[in-house]
Amino acid sequence: MTMFETATGQTLFQFYALHLFLSSLFSWAVAHLLRRRYEDAQGILFLFFLFFNIALPVIGYLFTLLLGYYLLYVKHAPTLINTKMLNMEELDQDFPQVKRSFGEGSMIELMSNEFASQTLRMKALSAMAENMTQKNIGLIKHSLSDRDDELRLYSFSLICSMEHGLNNNIHEASLRFKSAEDEQSRADAAKELALLYWEMVYFDLSDEVLKTYLMNEALKYAKIAAAAHAHDKSINVLLGKIYLAKEEFDNATTEFVIAIESGVESEYIVPYLAELYFQRGNYTSTRSMLSLVESLKMSVTMYPVVAQWRD
């Protein structure tokens, strides 16, 4: 055995002897302090702390081996470089929260609810005024009999405003029709007049006395436009609607068939033909018409009607 090995063995012996002495000293001191609480377990406490302190170097060796293995073999997903954190406050500004304005239920329920706030019903009227469909105009006209004075006046002003706008457009189109210098301009003005008169009828903006006059005017100008634009399928559709409203079913059928042959989608024409057969009492043809176009089942407006006539 060389002198180096002898010196190393002596050093390790001295280290572990010192470690055993200090471990025994500290274990006795801690057990002595705990004797007040654990009177009958002073010896067990001394042995526990002595074993704990002696085992610490061994635990350190094992932990070193585990740490070395971890650093050598365990791999992690690559970390992205030059990334930035998202600013959630900016996202809140760019994506505003969308909330319901009128709560649950339909506009009909809201407008007929006497306990709904005036502010909410006024907002509903304003929203409907931005999209003047037949259904929305019906709701606005329903509010003309509301108990609230402001709602009645606001509804009346909306109806008057729309009627006034259509009348102005009719007047301007009439002037263009009368002063037209060529047949093309005259036919274009006639088509515009026919559509405007039909809008007055469709939106029910006149009483029953004027309704017949408006339909006759719409029909007159639509015929003039059709004579000049023989291949304009939109005029055939308009004529079909007018004849259907006038209950001239044979003429309406002819115009709708011409429109389909000219390329108008069946999905658009079939509901009118179904209504036509229903008005004539031909319910079998009504059912068969509604079953012709499969896409009608996907329409929010037409699905209840199609479901009602399902075989």
Q: Is residue 303 part of a domain?
A: no
Q: Is residue 239 part of a domain?
A: no
**In the predicted model, is pLDDT for residue 65 greater than 70?**
yes
Nearest Cα residue to 271 out of 253, 251, 289, 246: 289
Compare 103 and 229 and report the one with higher pLDDT. Answer: 229
Q: Is residue 69 part of a domain?
A: yes
Which residue among 57, 73, 89 closes a domain? Answer: 73
Instruction: Give the Cα separation of 209 and 99 in Å (integer).
Output: 45
Nearest Cα residue to 53 out of 32, 23, 26: 23
Q: Is residue 158 part of a domain?
A: yes
pTM: predicted TM-score of the whole model, two decimal places? 0.59
Q: What is the mean pLDDT of residues 280-289?
A: 83
Instruction: Give the Cα separation of 248 and 263 in Å (integer).
Output: 23
pLDDT for the residue numbered 88: 64
Domain of residue 117, residue span: 113-179
pLDDT tens, position by position, 104-128? 456 666 666 666 777 777 777 777 7
Q: In which band, very low, low, confident or very high, does the pLDDT at 89 lie, cut at 50, 70 and 90?
A: low
pLDDT for the residue numbered 172: 92
Nearest Cα residue to 269 out of 295, 231, 307, 246: 295
pLDDT for the residue numbered 96: 59
Tokens representing residue 238 in the block: 């308009």
Instruction: Give the Cα separation of 143 and 206 in Å (integer).
Output: 17
Instruction: Give the Cα separation of 273 and 194 in Å (integer).
Output: 21
Shared domain for 61 and 119, answered yes or no, is no
Q: Is residue 144 part of a domain?
A: yes
Report angle CA 137, 194, 133 to the nearest 5 degrees. 15
Instruction: Give the Cα separation of 237 and 222 in Å (integer).
Output: 10
**In the predicted model, is pLDDT for residue 184 greater than 80?**
yes
Q: Is residue 223 part of a domain?
A: no
Q: Which of 24-38, 103-117, 185-199, 202-216 has the weakest average pLDDT?
A: 103-117
Which residue among 179, 214, 230 closes a domain? Answer: 179
- Count: domains in the chain: 2
pLDDT tens, position by position, 247-271? 898 898 888 888 888 888 878 888 8
Instruction: Give the Cα separation of 293 and 285 in Å (integer).
Output: 14
Q: Is residue 193 part of a domain?
A: no
- Tell me the CA distances in angstroms from 188 to 60, 198, 226, 231, 310, one per residue in order: 97, 15, 10, 14, 42
pLDDT tens, position by position, 134-165? 777 777 777 777 777 887 888 888 888 888 88
Q: Is residue 278 part of a domain?
A: no
